[in-house]
Amino acid sequence: MPFALTAGVIDRVRPAQYTLGYGLPTYVQVGPEQYRTYEHMWKTQPALRTVIEFVARNIAQLGLDVFERTSDTDRKKVREHPLSKLLNNPWPGSKWTKYRLINWTVQEYSIFNSAFWIKGKAPDGTNGVLPMPRRYIEPVGDNLFYPDFYRITGTKGTKDIAPDQVVHFFGYNPDDPREGWSPIETLRLILAEEYAATEYRAQMWRNGARISGYITRPEKAPRWSDTARNRFKTDWGAYSTAQQAGGTPILEDGMSWHEGGITPKDAQYIEARQLSREEVASAYHVDPSMIGLSKNATQSSLGELRQMLYADALGPLLEMLQQDIELQLLPDVDPGGAEKIYVEFNLRAKMQGSFEAQAAAISASVGGPWMTRNEGRALYNLSDLPEADELITPLNVVEGGLASPRDTAPDNPSNEESNGQPPGPKPLRSGS
C-alpha cells in the first residue's frame, strides 16, 4: 500500500533529539567521558565535511533522468513519466528539489552508511517523498534480512510504518544485513585526534597564544611577602591574557623563564591536519588532489582524476542509488514499468573533455561537419539566420569518393588499362 501516509501524519512526527537508534554507534568518543555524535563531528570537523560535501554536491549536480527502453539498442528520455515527475518535484508544495534531495541523501548516507525517504501524500494529494534523518528512524523486527516495520521516534511518541512506506538506502554491515556501518566509526581515532588537536589550539589562543613554561626564582632571592607574591601573580595573570597580547612581562629578583610543553610546531599541527584530511578522503575513496591537498596537480592530471572520480570512486555509489530507486520506488508509481523504465545519472557532462576535444572526436566519428550555422549561433544566444539550417560540407569532404581534392587516383582506370598505355599524370579534380 504505497504512499499511504498523509502530510499531516508526517508533520506531527517531530524529531526527538539524541535518539540512539537500536544499537548501532552514532557517536564518537573524543576524550575521557566526552562523546560527540556523528552529526556533531560533521559540523565541527573541516576534513569530514569537506570530503562529504564534495562527494554529495558532485553527485547531485549530475542530474537523475528517467529512460524508457524502446529496443535492445535504443532508448528515450521520458519527462512525463510518474517517476520522473516525482524525482523532479519530490514533495509538491515544499522547497525540496531533486538536487536538494540527492544532495541530502548522499550526505546522510556518507555519515551513517544509511539514508531514508518516507513515501506519502503531499498536501495537494499527489505522491511524494521526504527525507527522514537516520537518528529518528530505525528498522524493527526479528528477521535478520529485512525489518517487519520501521519506527519513527519523536517528541510526541513513536510512529510505526510498513516497510513499503520507506525507501531505504544502506551499505554493508558485518553484524546486520539490514543496516550499514558508518565510515565515521572507522575514522574514530583519526577524528578524535583531530578534535583534541583543535581543542588544544583553541585553548592556546584563549591563553593569548603564549607558549607553555614555568618561572624559577633564585634560591638567594629575598623572601617574598604575601603582598609581593600576590602583586606578581596579578601582573603575570594580566600579561598571560589575550587582552594584553604583545605586552612585555617583568620578572623580579633574577627570575628566569623556562619553556615547557609542546609547541604547535613541535606537535606538527599542520602536518597532522593534512594527514587527517588525507585519511578521510581515502575512507570515502576520493583522491586528495580533488579536494586541494596536492600542489603538484596539473590541468592534465586533474582531467584524469575527474575520469577516475566518476568511474571508480563514485561509480559504485551511483549504481546503488539507481538500483534502489528502481527497486523501491518505481513499482509504486508504475507497477508495469520494471521491464522498460530505469533511472540513470547523467555522467556525460562530467566525463566529457574540452569543447575542442569533443568537436574533434565527433567530427572524426561522423566523418564530416556535424553542426549547422544556426546551431552554432544558438550556443552563443544569437538569433537564427535564413538558409543557415543546412550542414556546410567543404569541397575536400565527400561521401563515397575521394577524401581530398588533391587525391590523384584515376577517374576511369579501366579505360587506361584497355588501350595498353601506362598511366600518365593524373589530373586534379575540379574545385582544387
The predicted model gives 219-238 an average pLDDT of 78
The predicted model gives 344-372 an average pLDDT of 74
pLDDT in the model for residue 432: 39
Residue 200, all three cell numbers: 588544544
pLDDT in tens, 285-329: 988 888 876 666 665 666 677 778 888 889 999 999 999 999 999
pLDDT band at 19 (very low <50, low <70, confident <90, very high): very low
Lowest mean pLDDT among 64-68, 137-141, 395-399: 395-399
DSSP string, 109-159: HHHHSEEEEEEEE-TTS-EEEEEE-GGGEEEESS-SSS-SEEEEEETTEEE
Residue with grid cell 598511366, as numbered in its chain: 423
The predicted model gives 165-173 an average pLDDT of 95
Percent of the chain with pLDDT over 70: 68
The predicted model gives 163-181 an average pLDDT of 92
pLDDT band at 430 (very low <50, low <70, confident <90, very high): very low
Lowest mean pLDDT among 235-239, 249-253, 319-323, 412-416: 412-416
Q: What is the mean pLDDT of the chain?
A: 78
pLDDT band at 86 (very low <50, low <70, confident <90, very high): very high
Lowest mean pLDDT among 165-174, 358-367, 391-400: 391-400
Cα-to-chain-centroid distance, residue 426: 63
- Cα–Cα distance, 192 to 199 (Å, whole number): 11
pLDDT in the model for residue 205: 60
Alpha carbon separation from 256 to 89, 214, 217, 339 (Å, rounded)? 71, 8, 7, 83
Residues 400-403: contacts with CB under 8 Å, at least 24 apart: 402/429
Selected residue with higher pLDDT from 430 and 150: 150
- Cα–Cα distance, 286 to 183 (Å, whole number): 14
- Cα–Cα distance, 98 to 92 (Å, whole number): 12
pLDDT in the model for residue 189: 78
pTM across the whole model:
0.69
Give the residue extent of every domain in the chain. 1-212+268-352, 213-260, 355-418
The predicted model gives 212-217 an average pLDDT of 73
pLDDT in the model for residue 222: 80
Q: Which 8-state DSSP code applies to residue 91?
A: S
Q: Which 8-state DSSP code applies to residue 6?
A: B
Selected residue with higher pLDDT from 357 and 372: 372
pLDDT in the model for residue 162: 95
The predicted model gives 142-151 an average pLDDT of 90
pLDDT band at 267 (very low <50, low <70, confident <90, very high): low
For residue 91, pLDDT over 90 is answered with: yes
Of the candidates 200, 341, 205, 217, the one whose C-alpha atom is nearest the C-alpha of residue 261 is: 200
For residue 163, pLDDT over 90 is answered with: yes
pLDDT in the model for residue 242: 47
pLDDT in the model for residue 60: 95
pLDDT in the model for residue 17: 41
